[in-house]
């Protein structure tokens, strides 16, 4: 099934990012119209945000000025003629080699999972890995480090109060291991700042949108909705933000953010039901009618994980994902990012529509894709 009539859009802008109209003007504004020839390095370039950021930076500075660190795959930016560096944030020496001569480092690499992962694994990547990035940046004299963290670094409670940058960290024993690791990773950034590193932190909410080649868990949800593989929805919701808007804020943070500051990069809170209905509007495939309350979803989630694994399918309906959808703050404020970084999130409907367009154009909507 093709979506030419539904998704017809003008030719892509000069930036080279299909479906985007915001990153280039914001990037050139922060440059003051100039194009300095300096090296930018990206960790986590093979991820969804990393791929979009790598492509945007290559358009802005030229491919010869970009180094992208990867481990096994290069992601959606693999076609770019940039410097691809095989490295690992758990190996400080590989980072020092990659950071030499760099003006700015964008640190995106992280372990994110909706499955049961041992806390030590989160710690090794999200804390020790971030510490290594800080050490390498200091050793190489990097002018600025932009760290893309997560909303999960913040305590979501109380859920009925606005969550902004003044909220406390998710560092208590009652927080999940991923949340604690992201909060602890930010501590490593601040220790680097205390030693003279110029660094800023961005905290996006749940990222969706095009250029999702892996795909991500949320990308898989969209594909499963299209293929009618989700028989029922769960109550709850979350704050979703478009990957292109996160990249716009990340690029602006290089020059416009204040050292040592956090910036929440949130989109819009919607229920899972509303997300499924937007999927239906984009594709014409009916959304599931059945919906489980949170208490029932919690009870059934472990069984669903076992069933999916027995069928050779990727589990999406897990105890972790249910907890996130049930206990995400609905009032996350991006006012600071809007005021200082020019951040303006697009509608969720646009993000969902463009996600399906990208999947369709890359042959990912077929049953076997």
Other C-beta atoms lying within 10 Å of the C-beta of residue 271: 17
Q: Quick one: how far is CA 228 from the chain centroid?
A: 26
Residue ranges of domains in the chain: 23-209+240-267+330-346
Phi-psi region of 61 (alpha: psi -120 to 50; beta: other; left: phi over 0): alpha
Q: Quick one: how far is CA 161 from the chain centroid?
A: 24
Q: What is the distance between the alpha carbons of residues 178 and 107, in angstroms, rounded to a whole number?
A: 17
Q: What is the pLDDT of residue 334?
A: 98
* Structure-token match 């953010």, residue found: 257
Q: What is the pLDDT of residue 9?
A: 41
Q: What is the pLDDT of residue 322?
A: 84
CB 182 within 8 A of CB 150: yes
Of 27, 26, 23, 28, nearest to 12 (Cα)?
A: 23
- The tens-digit pLDDT sequence of the chain (369 residues) is 444 434 444 333 333 344 454 444 433 333 344 444 489 999 999 999 999 999 999 999 999 999 999 988 999 999 999 999 999 999 999 999 999 999 999 999 999 987 767 899 999 999 999 999 999 999 999 999 999 999 999 999 999 899 999 999 999 999 999 999 999 999 999 999 999 999 999 999 999 999 999 999 999 999 999 999 988 899 999 999 999 999 999 999 999 999 999 999 999 999 999 999 999 999 999 999 999 898 888 888 888 888 888 888 877 778 888 888 888 899 999 999 999 999 999 999 999 999 999 999 999 998 654
CATH of domain 23-209+240-267+330-346: 3.40.50.720
In this structure, are strands 268-271 and 237-242 parallel, antiparallel, or unpaired?
Answer: antiparallel
Other C-beta atoms lying within 10 Å of the C-beta of residue 290: 8
């Amino acid at each position: 099934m093709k979506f030419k009539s539904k998704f017809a859009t003008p030719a892509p802008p000069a930036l080279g990012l299909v479906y985007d109209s915001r990153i280039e003007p914001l990037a050139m504004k922060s440059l003051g119209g100039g194009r300095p020839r300096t090296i930018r390095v990206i960790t986590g370039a093979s991820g969804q945000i990393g791929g979009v950021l790598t492509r945007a930076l290559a358009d802005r500075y030229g491919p010869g000025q970009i180094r992208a660190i990867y481990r096994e795959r290069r992601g959606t930016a693999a076609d770019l003629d940039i410097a691809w560096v095989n490295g690992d944030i758990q190996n400080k020496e590989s980072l020092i080699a990659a950071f030499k001569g760099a003006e700015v480092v964008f640190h995106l690499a992280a372990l994110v999972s909706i499955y049961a992962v041992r806390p030590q694994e989160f710690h090794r990547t999200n804390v020790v890995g971030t510490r290594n990035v800080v050490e390498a940046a200091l050793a190489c004299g990097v002018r600025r480090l932009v760290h893309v963290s997560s909303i999960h670094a913040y305590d979501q409670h109380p859920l009925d109060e606005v969550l902004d940058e003044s909220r406390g960290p998710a560092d208590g024993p009652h927080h999940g291991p991923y949340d604690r690791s992201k909060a602890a990773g930010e501590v490593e950034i601040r220790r680097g700042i205390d030693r003279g590193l110029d660094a800023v932190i961005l905290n996006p909410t749940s990222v969706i949108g095009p250029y999702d080649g892996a795909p991500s868990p949320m990308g898989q949800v969209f594909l499963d909705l299209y293929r009618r593989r989700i028989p029922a929805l769960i109550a709850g919701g979350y704050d979703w933000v478009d990957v292109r808007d996160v990249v716009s804020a990340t690029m602006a943070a290089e020059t416009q953010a204040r050292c040592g500051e956090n910036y929440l990069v949130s989109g819009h809170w919607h229920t899972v039901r509303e997300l499924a209905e937007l999927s239906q509007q984009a594709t014409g495939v009916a959304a599931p009618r059945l919906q489980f309350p949170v208490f029932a979803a919690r009870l059934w989630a472990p069984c669903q994980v076992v069933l999916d694994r027995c069928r050779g399918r990727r589990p999406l309906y897990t105890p972790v994902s249910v907890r996130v959808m049930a206990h995400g703050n609905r009032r996350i404020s991006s006012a600071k990012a809007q005021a200082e970084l020019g951040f303006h999130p697009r509608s969720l409907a646009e993000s969902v529509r463009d996600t399906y367009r990208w999947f369709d154009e890359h042959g990912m909507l077929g049953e076997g894709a």
